[in-house]
Each structure stands twice: as structure tokens, then as C-alpha cells.
Chains A and B, each alone.
Chain A
Amino acid sequence: MDLKQFISSGVLEQYVLGLLSEKEAGEVMNMMQLHPEVSDYVHKLQTSLDTYSRLYEVRPPDGLKDQVMAGIRKEIENRSDQGQKGQPVPIQPPLAKYSRLRKLAVAAAFILLCSIGLNIYLSNQIQVARAKVGTLSTQSEQLKAENQRIHNQLDQKGKALTLLYNPDIRRVTMNGVKQHTDAKAMIYWSANKQTAFLANADLPATPAGKVYQLWAIVDGKPVDLGLFTPKDQVNLPIELKKIQPGSVQAFAITLENQGGSPTPTMDQMYVMGSTSS
């Protein structure tokens, strides 16, 4: 019978399912040792069955592990007791023949060399694995951070959308004043609820010790709405301080000292937008 016929005869399937007699199983094992194709095929069948049985996995009841481990500990104790009491003292081999000793020494040296080689190999493997773990955990951290960032972004976009869909909300564009024509910002504003949100701010970086301050002009007077630095950009839209009752005429942003100012510094105004436009 050629190899192909042997493999497709069905006897290997019977073998992995334990359906062969001991003698027949022995023959299969022989064939496996002689022919990699056969052992390869058998291993695939074996893997199929193993995977199949894993479909039936059931989590054992809580506490069963403790019982199992108690049994194992008992076995370990038994074994070490036996080792101490029962084992006879090893008999010294007769020193009759030097040649035998020499053979032993050569064998020992050989085994030692093999062991050193294996150690080096295994230690390399560990190094490789460790490096991989390192890279993977860095990657995982990066992904986490990225995920968090996208999450935040999505949150902010969600807030912005809610504001946009709110019929009560008006948009007020603040354009750059003379010295800062590039600057621009946008306020979402609800006159009924006296709330305002800074939705967008395209402002130059602040010098050290400085901060932007938002203002509403209510009944002709500036009212503080809070502070803003360009690094808050990612958190937009930001809800501003509640606006006091009255007629809101305009919104503006000025550059002030850290901590803000009770009144706006007029020559440091960057953007302004009227509510009537």
C-alpha cells in the first residue's frame, strides 16, 4: 500500500479516536515515525478533536480548584516523605575499570555542553519574548491614549452638535479687530437661558503670564465670562459663565494678565462680535 492510500484508508481516523487494537495502533505509531506526512496528518486530526472538545468547555464551580489543589499538595507531601525515608542509599559503582569512568566523564562533559547550549538558546528566547512584551505594552499604552483622545473629541463634537440643533441657540461670530485681523472666534448663545459657549477660537498663542478673557457687553457694560488659553482648544465647546439679565449687545475677547482682570484692557482686544449682526 502506498503512503497516500495508507493516509486515506481511514485507519488514522480510527487511531485518533482510539478505535484500533493495541497492535494496530503500534503499527500506526511506527508509520508516524517513519513518515512525517503520516504524523502530520495524525496531528491535524488530533488538533481537530482537541478543538472540538474545547467547544464543550464548562467553567468548574467555584471552590473546586481549592479542593483539587489540596489533593495535589497532599501528593507532593507524600512524595517528599517517601523521598526522605524510603529511598535506599545509592550504591557506589565499583571502581574496577578506569575506562568506564572515562566514558562517564566524557558523557558528562557532553551533557554539560548540551545543557549550556540549551541554556543560551532558552535565555535568548526569553530575551526576545521580553522585548516583544515591552513593545506590545508600549503599543497598548499608545492605543489607550489615542482611544482616550478620540473619545474626548467625540464627546466635544457631540456637545457641539447638541448646541447646533438647539433652535434657541444663536451663533455670534467674533472677527479680529484692526491689529489682529487673522483672529476669529465663535460664540453659541442662548438669550433666553443666559448661557453662552465658546465654540471655536482661532487665536494666536499667548505670551507667558498672559491669558485670554471673554466678555459680554450687557446694557453697554463689559461683564466677565471667564478665561481661555489656546491649550483649552481641545475642550471646545466650553460653557462660559452665566450672563446676568439684561440686553446682550456684543461678545469680545481681550488678552489679560494671568488670573484675568475686572475690566477689559481695551487696547488688548483681539476679537469682537455684535449680537445684532
Chain B
Amino acid sequence: MTKEHLNNEFDLIIALKKGDETAYSYLYDQYGAALYGFIIHMTKEQELAKDILQEVFIKIFQKIDLYDPQKGPLYAWLIQITRNTTLDKLRSKQYQTNRRTLPLEEKNISGTLENTIQPKLDHIGVDKVLVALDESHKKVIDLAYFHGFTQNEIAKEMGLPVGTVKTKVRNALIQLRKLLNIV
């Protein structure tokens, strides 16, 4: 991360905290696709994802004062808000009764949507990363990171002892970091 990038992010955070409309427009341009992709990956549903993204931005506006840059980068915070908002939505009773199937089930992915949720950042070698990442590692990361599962839930979902899950979590991130070449 360059120094200029940090300065930019610093300026952006100040403008966001001030409630500057253009800052939110910029935020959308910069992170909209990432957050939207994140929500799509969690929900697999476009209409729902659109609603959630709107809610996410309102929450960012309302909570930006609580964001402390010393505790981590802005993007991580945005992802946290996005994940929580999406999980709340998916768990809300209203939503559950409106749906016959659970949104997290793979069979719920519609054919058309499948095309749009393909990763698209070619330049860092998506294929390489996603193909090379062990299936069980990818699953551990996805369940925890995208779906907010606890270790017990992951253990249950994958049919593994909790101890094994802990080891897998560590190995998964080590492999991911290596594949993404983050040193």
C-alpha cells in the first residue's frame, strides 16, 4: 500500500465523517462492486443484494463516527458492516418466512446469477487463486468470512472435529496468503 493511498484513504475518511455527499459517491465508485459482490456471494440473489447494498451504505453513514482507522483498514470495516447487515437480513424472520429454502444452500443459486458472480479480477490471477486453493480451505474461509459461521457451525457443516477446523483455518489462510503473494 502506497503512502499516497494512505493519504487518500485518510482524506476520504474525514470527508465521510463530515457527511460529505461526494465522499459517499466516491466510496460507492471505489468499493461498490466489492461490497455488492460480497453480498451476492452471500445471498446469491440480485434483488435482495440491491436492497442490502442500500442498507449497507445507510449504515456506513450512520456508523462512520465509530470507525477507528487505528483498528484496521477502511475496507475491512466496510466488509464487517456488509457482512453483519447481510446476515441480519438473511436471519430476519420476515425474510425466512418469505423464502421456502435457505439462502445459503447452494441449490438456490439461479443459473443466470451464476454467470454474474464469477470472480472478475483477472489481473491478479483469479483462476490461479481459486483453482489452487484447496477445496476444504476455500470452504472454511467462505463459511467464516462470507457467512459468519462460528467454529462449531463450521465443524458441523463440514463434519469435522472443532480441533481440525482450527488447524484448517490456519492452513487455509497460510495457503491463501501464499497464493495472493502477500508477504
Residues of A within 8 A of B (CB): 10, 13-14, 16-19, 29, 43-61, 64-65, 67-69, 71-73, 75-76, 79, 122, 125, 129
Contacts and interface: CB of A to CB of B under 8 A. Distances in A.
B173 interface: yes
A19 B79 contact: no
Contacts of A45: 173, 177
Nearest to A21: B150
A199 to B, nearest CB: 44
Contact of A61 (B7, B46, B124): B46
Contacts of A73: 21
A10 B117 contact: no
Interface string B143-183: 01110101100000000000000110110111011001011
Contacts of B180: 48, 51-52
Contacts of B170: 10, 13-14
A60 B32 contact: yes
A72 B53 contact: no
A19, A61, A73 pick with most chain B CB within 10 angstroms: A19
B58 interface: yes
Given A18-B148, A71-B57, 5 more contacts: A17-B141, A49-B176, A57-B120, A64-B32, A68-B24
A44 B177 contact: yes
The 7 closest A-B pairs by CB, nearest first: A10-B170, A58-B37, A55-B119, A17-B144, A56-B37, A60-B36, A48-B177
A138 to B, nearest CB: 19
Contacts of B148: 18
B160 to A, nearest CB: 14
Interface of B: 4, 7, 19, 21, 24-25, 28, 32-34, 36-38, 40-41, 46, 50, 53-54, 57-58, 61-62, 71-73, 75-76, 79, 116-117, 119-121, 124, 126, 129-130, 141, 144-146, 148, 150-151, 166-167, 169-170, 172-174, 176-177, 180, 182-183
B76 A19 contact: no
Contacts of A44: 177, 182-183
Main secondary structure of the interface of A (DSSP, over half): helix
B145 A13 contact: no
B114 to A, nearest CB: 12
A51 B182 contact: yes
A47 B126 CA distance: 16
B121 A54 contact: yes
A7 B107 CA distance: 39
21 contacts: A10-B170, A13-B172, A14-B151, A14-B170, A17-B173, A44-B183, A46-B73, A47-B182, A50-B73, A51-B182, A52-B141, A52-B145, A52-B180, A53-B37, A54-B34, A60-B32, A60-B50, A67-B50, A69-B21, A76-B61, A129-B4
Given A72-B24, A73-B21, A55 B53 contact: no
Contacts of A60: 32-33, 36, 50, 53
B177 A58 contact: no
A65 B32 contact: yes
A57 B177 contact: no
A269 to B, nearest CB: 61
B21 A72 contact: yes
A64 B33 CA distance: 11
A53 B38 contact: yes
Contact of B169 (A14, A52, A79): A14
Contacts of A19: 144, 150-151, 169
Given A56-B41, A129-B4, A71 B54 contact: yes
Nearest to B148: A18
A137 to B, nearest CB: 16
B57 A72 contact: yes
A69 B25 contact: yes
B169 A57 contact: no
B89 to A, nearest CB: 15
A130 B177 CA distance: 35
Contacts of A29: 71
A74 to B, nearest CB: 8
